[in-house]
Structure 1
Amino acid sequence: MTDPASDATGAVRPRLSRNGIQLNGAGRIAGLDFARGLAIIGMLAAHLLWLGDDVVLADPSTWSNIAAGRSSILFATLAGVSLGLMTGGRHPARGAAMGVARRRIALRAALLWVLGVLLIGTGVPVYVILPAYAVLFLLALPALTLSTRVVLVLAGVLAVVMPFAQVLLDALPFWGTPIGESAALMIGWQYPFPVWIAFVLAGLGIARAGLQRRSVQVGAVLAGGALAALGYGLNAASGLAAADEWTSFAGAVWTARPHSSGLLEVIGSGGFALAVIGGCVLVCGPWWRGSVMSPAGWIVLPVRAVGAMPLSAYTAQLVIWAIAAAVILGDPSDLQGFRDLDPFWPITAVLIVAATVWALTIGRGPLEAATDRVTRVLVPGRADTAAETRLGPR
C-alpha cells in the first residue's frame, strides 16, 4: 500500500526539476529574462508611482524616475532581441523555415493587438503598449533576413531621422479628431512606430550579432553607455527649456523628455536599453567554465521568472489594477485615486511571487503557452533552424 503523500511528492519533484531546468538551464539566456522582468516592473512603476522626468545622480530621491519612459523603450528593444532569437539568432532561418517564422510572428502580432484592445477596454488609464508591439512586429518582418551590420545601420539611421518626421506626424490635425484619438489607441501611438522601430531593430541587431558572446555583451554595455551619455549629456548642455518643446520644431526634436520621441530621448534611452540588456546578460551569465549562470543570476530568479512570462505579467498587472480600482474606488479609470493607495509594491510582490511559483510548478506563462500553441497550430511547419531559437520569450 502506497502513501498518497509520498506519491504526490514523487509526482511533483520531476515537474519542479523539469521546470527548473527550463527556467535556469542552458537553453535560456538568464540575463534576458532578468532584463524583461526589470522592464515589466519598471513599466508598472511608471504607471503607479508619482514620477518626474529628471534623474539626478546626486539626488537619490530622483532615482525612481529612471523608470519613466526608459522601461517601455527597454521592453521594445527586448522585443527585437526576441524576434532575432525566435528566427535563429546568429544563424537566422532560411527559405521555408523563415517563411514559417514570419507567418507565426505576423499571427502573434494579431493576437497581441487583440489582447491589447481588450486591455484598453478595461478602462485602466494607461497607454497599453501591446497594439504598438503588434505594429512593430509587422514592420520588423522585412528586416529578419538582413545582415547584422545592415540591421544595426538601419536602426541608427532611423533613430536619427525619424524623430524629425515624428514631430510633423504628431502635428497632423487628424489626431485631434474623435476618430484620430481612437486610432491612436488602436495603434499605440504613444509609442510611435516610426520612431520605435529603431529600438526593435537595435535589439534584433544584437541578437543577430550573438548575444551569448561575451564580446557582444560588453559591446552593448559600452556602446549603449556611450549613447546614453551622449543623449542625456546633450540634453543637459543644450540650454533648451522644457517649454521649448511645445513652442518650436527644434525644441520638439531636441529633447530627452520621457515619451517625447525626441532625438535625444531616442539616443539616450535607446543607449540605456542596450546597456541594460548587455549588463543583465553579462551579470547573469556563467562566470566560470561549466556553470549555467552566475550566483547573481540565481539571486534574481524571482525577477527572471517575471521576465520569462512578460506577456502574462504585463496583462496580469493591468487586470489586477482594473479589478482593484473598480472594487475599491468604483472606477478603474481613477488614476490619482489609485496611485494614492500606494499599490505599486503590493502588486509587484504579487506578480513576483505568482510568476516564481508558476514558473517552477507549471512552467510556461499561460499567455505565452497559449500564443505559442495557437501560432503552431494555425501555421504548421518547422521554423527553428538553430538551438538559439529556443531562447525567445516562453
Structure 2
Amino acid sequence: MNKNIIVIGGGIIGLCTAYYLQKEGHQVTIVDKSNFTSGASYVNAGYITPSHFMPLAAPGIINKGIKWMFNSSSPFYVKPRLNIEFLKWTWDFKKSATALKVEKAIKPIKDINLFSRDLYEEMKAANDFNFHYERKGLLMCYKTDEVGEEEWKIGQRGIEEGLKVENLSAKDVENLEPKAGLNIKGAIYYHSDAHMTPNQFMSEMLIYLRSKGVRVFSNEKVIDIEISNKYISKVITDKQILTCDEVVLSAGSWSPLITKKIGLKIPIQAGKGYRINVNQSTNITIPAILCEAKVAVTPMDGFTRFAGTMEITGINNTINPKRVDAIAKAAKAYYNSVNITKSEKEKSECGLRPCTPDGLPYIGKSSKCNNLTIATGHAMMGWSLGPATGKLVSEIISNRKTSLNIVPFQPDRTF
C-alpha cells in the first residue's frame, strides 16, 4: 500500500531515504530547517568508507580524549560541560569502548559500508545522475613508526574481513602519487574505498526528487508532532501542519529534540567537523587520511578538500580558527607542495555530525511509536551510509525483508 510519508531532515540520509521511498511508489515530503546549501552533508570529505570499520568508541580513545581535552586544536576535542545528556552520552561512550563491543561492531559497520558503496554505483550506472564518483581507494598516511604499526594492525583486521589492504613504503606511495610531494614514512592502502563531491550529488538528487513529485520544504522547522496511541498523525512546522501515514526522522544532531516528544531518548552528541576547499593545483589524485593529524584529503571535482577534527562542544556552528589552522598546518606538513592561503582558511565551513555512543547508527523503528522510523547517528560515516540507510528505511516502511540485518542498529538498544 502506498503511503504518505514525511521525512524530517534533508541531509544525505533524508534525500537518499526519499529516493528509495519514491521508487516504492510512496508520496514523500521532505522538511528541513536549512536552505539545502550547508551542514554536514555539504562540508564532509565525500568518502565511501568500507575501510572505516572500527567504531569511534575504541579501546584507548578515552585516554587519548582526556589528553586532547586540554588542547582546543587537537584532532578529537571534547568540551566538558554540566549537561545531563552529555554526561549520559559520555558514560555510554566509555561503556562501549571495550574490545568485545568493538569486535561485535566491526562486521555490521563493514557490511553496511560495502552495501552503500554498491548502491552508489547502481545510482551512477542508472544514468539518472551525472555526479562525480571515483573508486581509487584510500591512503592512511603516517609519519611515525608507532602510528604505522597501529594502522597496519587495523589493516590486517580489514584483510580478515575480506578487504584488499596493502602496507606501502614511502617509495610505493610516491609511485602512486608521483606529483603530490607527500612527506611521510608510509601508508596503509585500502582499495575498497571511493570518493565523491558532496555539493554536486546533493544538488542533483534534489532536482531528481522534485522531478519525481517529492515535495521539498526548505527553511521550515518542525516544532511539534501530534501523537496518540503510539501513532503520529501530524507533523507541525513553523509554517504549516502536515498529515502523514509514516514519519522518517533523519534530522542528524537535532534528532533527539524530536524523539523526546514521544518519550524516547536516543543518545546523540553533535561532533563538529571543519573543511577547507583549496582551488590551487595540488596534484593530489588519491584520497588520504593524514593519520597523526586526523585530517582527510579528497581530490574533488575541480578542487581539493581538506577536512577534519571531531569537536564535541554541543550544537553550534561557531568556527574555531585554531581548528582551521590545525588542518592547514597538517596539509603543509604532509604535502610539500601544499600551502593553504589565508583566504582559503577564511572561507572554511563546519558541519555537525550526529555521534552515537557506540559508533553504530540508529536505523529502525522504536517500540515507543509504531509509524516512526529513525535514521540518524551516522557520525563521520553519514555520507558513506546515505544510500544504504535510505534503502533499509524504504524496506522497513514497505514491510519488505531488509537487505541487511538491522538488529545492531536498533534505536532502542542499550549500551
TM-score tier by shorter-chain length is under 0.3
TM-score, normalised via structure 2 length: 0.26
Normalized per residue, which structure has more helix?
A: 1
Choose between structure 1 and 2: higher strand proportion.
Answer: 2
